[in-house]
Amino acid sequence: MPSYADEDRKIEQLHPHFYSVIIPTYNERLNIALICYLLFKHMKDYKFEVIVVDDASPDGTQDTVKKLQGIYGEDRILLRPRAAKLGLGTAYVHGLKYASGDYVVIMDADLSHHPKYLPSFIRKQLETNADIVTGTRYVKGGGVHGWDLRRKLTSRGANVLAHTLLWPRVSDLTGSFRLYRKDVLQEVVQTCVSKGYVFQMELIVRATRMGCRIEEVPITFVDRVYGTSKLGGTEIVQYLKGLLWLFFTT
Amino acid sequence: MKQVWKIGTIFTAVVGIWISLLLTPGLPPSLQLIVPYFPMYALASLGCYGLGALGYGMMVFRVCPEEADLLQKDITEAKTFFKEHGVDLSSD
């Protein structure tokens, strides 16, 4: 019977990289447990760690994470909380400080990003030696669930606008399910100043301008099952402002 | 080069060509008639492109209710696992 060491060595040879999965959370007590279970299920062939950056959730997210550490080990799930709700961009910077992998995965905690797609991100990266692999909902094999007509129109309209103005080389600018080479992410994230949806777009546009090699894989996006997501007038105005900001600065 | 300069350069070049066409003497009368309206054509074309791209995008936008069902199964599976491992996930 092969020992664990043999197994480890086999994994080492097949998959030479170490992946740090950074998940920012705020009130995701249930979702963070589900996502960890699915990560360990679908990523069992890869070396990886999960870094949960929790912004002082009042719902006990951190207690759940501690219980998960009890099951999976404190070296596999790292809890790196912050004292207050400080936003997404800085959450990545914070998580990056503790990442020991040479590659970093960033995904949402709300289960709209399913860990089952990660092996396809990794395969794509190995095949193409890309700096960034980004998940896209807009190509064959991708898709969404749980969006009404208005949301779909807004999303596609935003996409047409962004493509007309910015000429990015990726089809899905606002998706945030991505795999990065760590040093690339560290460099790009320094130059980004926006928040929310615009942050994701800024990151990928600036990376394009820096000459990074970016590849895409199709993902499906199931709108959050537990809790609510919002896309209102203020988000749209912010997006348009962000678009203009990038038009003039990149 | 910044995006604004790229698009600005193209825009300026196109406007330049249009103005030089306007000022060219001896164009056939049929052309002379339509050249002044080129900006309107351009604007309309841009609008058509936008609407067309939006329409095409909506047309090929896939919805995947089956993914939601699969996710529900995964959630049930995960909950069973955590129950066995004594982690309470019941949302109050």
> What local confidence, expressed as pLDDT, does residue A197 receive?
77
Backbone angles phi, psi at B64, to 5 degrees: -130, 75
**Measured on CA atoms in the order A201, A162, A229, B52, is the torsion positive or negative?**
negative
pLDDT score of A22 more than 60: yes
B50 CB neighbours in chain A (<8 A) are 160, 164
In terms of CA atoms, which chain B residue is nearest residue A141? Answer: B62
> What local confidence, expressed as pLDDT, does residue B27 receive?
85
A160 CB neighbours in chain B (<8 A) are 50, 53-54, 57
Question: Tens digit of pLDDT for each residue in A83-104?
Answer: 998 888 889 999 999 999 999 9
> What local confidence, expressed as pLDDT, does residue A230 receive?
62
- Residue A22 CB partners (closer than 8 Å, separation 6+): A51, A53, A91, A92, A95, A96, A99, A104, A105, A106
Distance, first Cα to last Cα, chain A? 57
pLDDT score of A15 more than 80: no
pLDDT band at B32 (very low <50, low <70, confident <90, very high): confident
Chain B residues whose C-beta is within 8 A of a chain A C-beta are 2-4, 6-7, 49-50, 53-54, 57-58, 60-65, 67-68, 71-72, 74-75, 77-79, 81-82, 85, 87, 89, 91
B54 CB neighbours in chain A (<8 A) are 153, 156-157, 160
Domains in chain A, ordered, with CATH? 4-249 (3.90.550.10)
Measured between CB atoms, which of A33, A144, A160 is closest to B63? A144
The H-or-E segment that residue A132 falls in is strand A132-136
Calculate mean pLDDT across residues A22-28: 94
**How many Å apart are CA B31 and CA A138, to the nearest integer?**
42
B62 CB neighbours in chain A (<8 A) are 142-144
In terms of CA atoms, which chain A residue is nearest residue B46? Answer: A164
Calculate mean pLDDT across residues A116-143: 95
CB atoms A166 and B3 under 8 Å: yes
> What local confidence, expressed as pLDDT, does residue A14 receive?
67
Question: Tens digit of pLDDT for each residue in B33-82?
Answer: 899 999 999 999 999 999 999 999 999 999 999 999 999 999 999 999 99
For chain A, the average pLDDT equals 91
Question: Tens digit of pLDDT for each residue in A149-193?
Answer: 988 999 999 999 999 999 998 999 988 899 999 999 999 999 998
What residue spans define the domains of chain B?
3-84
Backbone angles phi, psi at A210, to 5 degrees: -75, -5
> What local confidence, expressed as pLDDT, does residue A12 receive?
61
pLDDT score of B92 more than 70: no
**How many Å apart are CA A1 and CA A136, to the nearest integer?**
42
Side-chain-side CA neighbours of residue A20 (13 Å):
26
